[in-house]
Each structure stands twice: as C-alpha cells, then as structure tokens.
Amino acid sequence: MKTLLLKYWYSLRSSLWFVPATMACLAVALAFCAVEIDKAVSDDWLQRLGWSYSGGAEGASLLLGTVAGSMIAIAGTVFSMTLVALSLASSQLGPRLLRNFMRNTVNQVVLGTFVATFVYCLLVLRTIRRADEVAFVPHLSISIGVVLAIASIGVLIYFIHHVSVAIQADEVVTRVGRELDEGIDRLFPDDLGKPGSEAVRAPGAADLPAAFAREARPVGAAEGGYLQLIDADALMDLACEEDLLLRLEHRPGHYLVKGQALVMVWPGDRVTEALVGKMNAAFVLGNRRTDTQDVEYSFRQLVEIAVRALSPGINDPFTAIACVDRLGSALCRLSRRDMPSALRFDPHGRLRMVAPGSSFEGILDLAFNQIRQSSRSNPAVTIRMLDAIAQIAGHLQRAQDTACLQRHADMIVRGAREAVPEADDLLAVETRFTAATQALREPHG
C-alpha cells in the first residue's frame, strides 16, 4: 500500500493538471466565502476600507468579464509556451527530460494562477444582480478579483523570465545534478558508513541455506514493465510472518516481462496464491523508470544529455563538460558513502532477505562509458573526464574503487591515443592522465 501511494504521489507531482486543479478548487471556495461575506456585511463598512470596489452592477460585470476573458487567454499562452519549452527540451536534451519540466512547480503554479483567477471571476460574476432585480454587487469579492488579476500579471512576467532560464542547457544540467545529489542522500545516507552498520559485501552461496537453490520457488511478476518501487519493509514483515527467506532477483530500474521471477522464496512449499498476491503488491511496475529508488536513472539523464551534446548534429562539447562536472561531483559524494548491504536480518538476527543493489563500479561504468566512447576524438571532454577522476580520487574510501577509477583512466587515455591526431592535444591528455594516476596512488580514506 505504501509503495502504491508513493507511486500515485509521484504521478501527481509529474502531472501538469494536479496543481492547477487544486488551485481552481481553492478559487471556488474563495469565491463562495467572499460572496457570503458580501451578503453578511453592509456596503458602508466595505467602503470604509478604502480599497474596495465602489462602482455599480454594470461596471462590475464588465470588469469581471474582462478579467476572466484575459485570464483564460493568458492561460492558453502559458500553455503554448510550456509546450514550446517541452518540445525544445525533447529535441535538444532528450525526451526523458520532459518529466523534469512537467514536475517543475513554477510551471504548474503559473498555469494554476490564471485558471484559478478565471474560475473565481466567473463564479463571482454570476452573483451580480442589476437594479431591475434585487440589486446586489459583491464589492469585496470584486476587489479580490482585481487583486488576483494584478497578481496574475506579476506571475506572467516571472514566468517569461523562468522559461527563458529553464530551457538553457546549463540550467537543465544543474537541475538534474541537484536531483541526483538528493537521490544519493536519500538512498545512501551518511549513517551507512558509521560504525555498527552492516558489512557491505555481495551475497554469496555461504549466506544461503544449502537447499535454497534446490527448494526455492520463484514468484513471477503479475505484469510487465519497469520495476519502479519495492516495499522492502512489507517484504520483511511477510518473510518474518511466514518464516521465509527471500532473494530479490531484480532492483528498481530493471525491465521485467510478465511472469518473470521477481523473488525466490524458500521454503518453496509455503508459496500459495495468497502469498503470491501479497508479494506482488510489494512491487510497483510502470511504463518508465523513476528516480524514487533508482539512483542510476538520474546518472543516465546526465549521460544522455552529454552523449546528445557530443553527437555530430548538435556538437556542443561545453554542455558535455558541464555534465561531466556534475557526474564527477555526484561520484565524489557517492564514493564517501557505504553501499547498503545486500543482506537483511530480522530482529532475532536471522537472515530473511537478500536484496542486491547498485555498486560503485556499476554506477561508475554507467557514468563514464558512453561519454568516453563518444568523446574519444574530443580532447576537451577527455581532459575533463581525467580531471574528474583525479577529483574523485581524493574522496575514495575503498581500495576496490581506486582500481575501478584507474581502469577508466586507462581506457580514456587509450582511446585518446587512437583518436586524437594533434600531438599537443595528446600531450595535454597524457599530462592529465599522469596527474589522475598520481592522485589515485595517494592514500585515501
């Protein structure tokens, strides 16, 4: 249940309709409350406020009609500008970045402001009665509508500025890099490296009962799609309740087909249809990857921007260098964190679940491989990657991570030796390679 709620909340945050719809509902409530106040108090009291509307019914109708019409027209303009920004981001930076623009709170609030002002003015307009009827002019409600209209103009000016900044490549890279840092802090907290935390090692055959491979039974996925969320707490409670040992076969970000094994259950003879249903409820699959539990997703976004920037059709090495800088910063942060243990124990010390996760080596390969392959003939990006490796070297905590970085430095310089024709450019690459190698040889931790 918790994973489903988290998925729905993620979907709402990534939608363009939720915030505007919420603001429209608030505008409805404000309109009814303001009109009721107008009915309850006298016009003389409102006039003493000094800033309230003091005209007649004809002027009030014209004023609110003008505001409502202009607001819905501006809302259409804002929507068009948002679509242009989404189209530009999709073509220049990658289609997977559309989610970042759609979840942008500023875009949602701006669109919601104009829709809410339109709804408010429309609802107040219907309450105005002229002299041939029982005359009623809601002075306070009209004054609030004027205030909302003035505020909307300010919001429009800010939105124009925001869009012009948001579509800049450096701004997009910065935003994705910030989300990546937040994901690392969320999935690899500092206390994982403190004394008393579980030892970080890959699960081996000695961790599992001798009969596990023979007697364990798989639980297949109820549907196909990308694994987005895993409710590890629910699986642990289920394993303790049924006295089971679980081995997760996939981690968030993997694609599964219907019926593919999600988890191996031991003893296998305890697997029932009810148990299969409960286990499937702990896994959330969807049409796309998300960064909620998949730290590799944000790494892939930066890599995609860099690879597109290095393509012959775009040829923008400066954007690629910005991506390398952000990747290097994230890897520095990640190198100081312990990888979570794959072994999960119950309060009595019994092994209940094996849940393999991401490794520093795998994330490093993901961050550097495609950029290295695309930038072999580009000395500027190659030099920046070697500088990033030297920078990461100063934050390493584990000896095996040093070997991984050295392997990537060797591959980078080999590619440059084969693809860079200019001797001086190659000399600059060799110099940075020597500096990176020296930094990796220094003691760390």
Stretch 102-129: mean pLDDT: 89
219 strand-pairing partners: 263
Signed CA dihedral, 41, 45, 47, 51: sign only: negative
Q: What percent of the chain has pLDDT over 70?
A: 89
C-alpha 256/C-alpha 287 separation (Å) is 11
Residue-wise pLDDT tens digits, 264-302: 998 888 888 888 998 888 898 988 888 888 889 989 999
Both ends of the chain: CA-CA distance in Å? 41
Q: Tell me how far apart the alpha carbons of residues 384 and 432 are, in angstroms, rounded to a whole number.
A: 9
Closest C-alpha among 395, 361, 383, 398 to residue 434: 383
Closest CA to 140 of 36, 59, 2, 213: 36
pLDDT at position 196, please? 36
pLDDT at residue 117, as a whole number: 94
pTM for the whole thing? 0.81
Phi (first) and psi of residue 229, to 5 degrees: -140, 145
Q: What is the longest distance spanned by two Cα atoms in the chain?
A: 92
Residue-wise DSSP of 204-224:
-GGGS-TTHHHH-EEEE-SS-
Tell me what pLDDT residue 105 has. Answer: 85
Mean pLDDT across 386-400 = 91
The partner residues of 395 in beta bridges, in order of sequence, read: none
Helices (H), 354-422: 360-374, 379-393, 399-419
* Separation CA 191–CA 185 (nearest Å): 10
| pLDDT value of position 104 | 80
User: What order do you get walking across the sheet with 225-230 strand by strand?
Assistant: 255-256, 225-230, 283-286
Task: Give the span between the Cα atoms of 290 and 187, in whole angstroms.
Answer: 13
Q: Please identify which residue in the block is written with the tokens 């599992």.
A: 208
User: Of 328, 329, 310, whose CA–CA distance to 319 is shortest?
Assistant: 310
Of the candidates 122, 201, 113, 107, which has an alpha carbon nearest to the alpha carbon of residue 159?
A: 107
H/E element, 375: none
Nearest to 147 by CA among 51, 25, 75: 51
- The tokens describing 159, both together, are 């939105």
Give the confidence band of 45 by pLDDT, cuts at 50, 70, 90. Answer: low
Angle between helices 423-441 and 399-419 (to 10 degrees): 170
Confidence of residue 119 (pLDDT cuts 50, 70, 90): very high
Rounded CA separation 177/222 (Å): 34
Digit-coded pLDDT (tens) for 170-199: 888 898 899 899 989 888 876 444 433 343
Three-class SS of residue 342?
coil
- For 327-339, the DSSP string reads HHHHHHHHHTSPP
List the helix and strand counts (H, then E) for the chain: 17, 8
